[in-house]
Amino acid sequence: MDDHGELIDKTARQLVEEHNPRTTPLQEFFGAVYDAGLAWVHFPVGLGGLAVSRGLQARADAVLQGAGAPNPMTLNPMGYGMAAATVLEHGSPELARELLRPLASTEHIWCQLFSEPGAGSDLAGLATSAVLDGDEWVINGQKVWTSLAHRASYALLIARTDPDQPKHKGLTYFVLDMHAPGVETRPLRQMTGQAEFNEVYMSDARIPDSHRLGAVGNGWRVAMTTLMNERSALGGTSPVRGNGDIADAVELWARRPDLQTPVLRDKLATLWTLAEAQRLTDERARRAATSGAPGPEGSIGKLVICELSQDIYEFCMELLGPEATLYGDYTLRDVQLFEDDRGPVQQRFLRSRARTIEGGTSEVLRNILGERILGLPGDLRVDSGKPWKDIPRG
């Protein structure tokens, strides 16, 4: 481990010397990161990694970001956080070589086509269909709440290939070209004034069978790879003490001494302590991680940090008092990346409301933790074992 850690440090330092992240174009810089094996250090050599422990990624990130590189998760969140691991584990070697480098360089932004109007938290109930026609699949259906679909080159798509099977068994997983004929994206205006989420319509869109991930009918298992990585990514915190959402609250507190009270000081201290405990817990989990895929334990971090984020911005609103209602410019704004328009703290408060929904609701995560970590009995499921086509749908 120490030898591998020294290799990571040396490789990262050499990279930033040769490609200054403050002056090198982003795609060129992150392409070099991929070529050096520092995009995902636990990936195989030649595919963005060095075949070492996943826990060493934090060492690479510390050197790169310490030299001024942005966090790639803010540039291509679905790509880095979900797509890369899913493509590597379930795609063909040829597909991985085709897709991973432009994903890592941020040339290709990715999105995730899972949720539907009639299948949000009940993902396995989805109705989007995929029918095999020669060596292509014909896709018809609608997805919704798709972050960055309007900017994405590729999407992770799960669709129903056998309606005669129970809902978890008749699914197949694909990579969809978002610029293919028959794919239409419509941005959805949010209460922040932004259009970060989208609805996506697929009308006889075609996907080559070579862009299928996993076996036909095995889409649920592939989707679990995506979801476990997503929740691990959403539950991750900054390795720097005091960074992240809590930094917003501390900055606002320091800037507005006229609004400070002893009660609010106690609340801020409590929130800072909780944020630091979450950061240290996440750091410990990162260091203990191996090359294996994240398990259901990743739901813990996602659950905690997303609810804490809401508490932090509620504190900010309480501190501002009546000023919290002054939002400012509420014109519709196109959002390219999650972090490119932070806006006022009021905007961040409104955006935080989505945190406990996206990537699995807090209710779903508590079920996962109860059933798969604590071994508690599962919920009663009246549709268990029934063919999907026979399950009543609204």
pLDDT at residue 102, as a whole number: 98
**Helix, strand, coil: what percent of the chain each, to 5?**
50, 15, 35
On whether both 258 and 290 belong to a single domain, the answer is: yes
On whether both 190 and 56 belong to a single domain, the answer is: no
Residue 93 lies in a domain: no
CATH assignment at residue 160: 2.40.110.10
pLDDT at residue 1, as a whole number: 52
On whether both 178 and 247 belong to a single domain, the answer is: no
Strand ranges for the chain from DSSP E = 110-113, 129-133, 136-144, 154-160, 171-177, 183-188, 194-195, 197-208, 212-213, 333-334
On whether both 248 and 351 belong to a single domain, the answer is: yes
On whether both 214 and 254 belong to a single domain, the answer is: no
Residue where a domain stops, chosen among 192, 223, 254: 223
On whether both 339 and 322 belong to a single domain, the answer is: yes
Residue 391 lies in a domain: no
Residue 214 lies in a domain: yes
Residue where a domain stops, chosen among 175, 193, 223: 223
On whether both 207 and 257 belong to a single domain, the answer is: no
To the nearest 10 degrees (0 to 180), the angle between helices 345-352 and 245-255 is 150
On whether both 231 and 219 belong to a single domain, the answer is: no
pLDDT at residue 240, as a whole number: 67
pLDDT at residue 338, as a whole number: 47
On whether both 269 and 316 belong to a single domain, the answer is: yes
Q: Rounded CA gap, 84 and 34, in Å?
A: 12
CATH assignment at residue 293: 1.20.140.10
On whether both 228 and 357 belong to a single domain, the answer is: yes
Residue 379 lies in a domain: no
Residue 383 lies in a domain: no
Residue carrying structure tokens 């803010």: 74
Catalytic: 230?
yes
pLDDT tens for the chain, 394 residues: list them: 568 989 999 999 999 999 999 999 999 999 999 999 999 999 999 999 999 998 899 899 999 999 999 999 989 999 998 999 999 999 999 999 999 999 999 999 999 999 999 887 788 999 999 999 999 999 999 999 898 999 999 999 999 999 999 999 999 999 999 999 999 999 988 888 788 889 999 999 999 999 999 999 999 999 988 887 765 665 555 556 778 899 999 999 999 999 999 999 999 999 999 999 988 887 777 666 554 556 566 678 888 889 999 999 999 999 999 999 887 665 555 554 444 446 789 988 998 998 888 877 888 888 888 888 888 988 777 777 889 888 887 6
Number of domains in the chain: 3
Query: Sign of the CA dihedral 40, 284, 237, 188?
Result: positive
Residue 83 lies in a domain: no
On whether both 132 and 231 belong to a single domain, the answer is: no
pLDDT at residue 286, as a whole number: 67
- Residue range of the domain that includes 367: 224-373
pLDDT at residue 296, as a whole number: 64
pLDDT mean across residues, the chain: 89
- pTM of the entire structure? 0.85
Residue 210 lies in a domain: yes
Please check whether residue 295 is in contact with residue 155, taking contact to mean a CB–CB distance below 8 angstroms. Answer: no
Q: Which of 28, 107, 230, 283 is catalytic?
A: 230
Candidates 244, 235, 358, 230; CA nearest to 285 is 235
Residue carrying structure tokens 């584990």: 89
Residue 101 lies in a domain: no
On whether both 32 and 161 belong to a single domain, the answer is: no
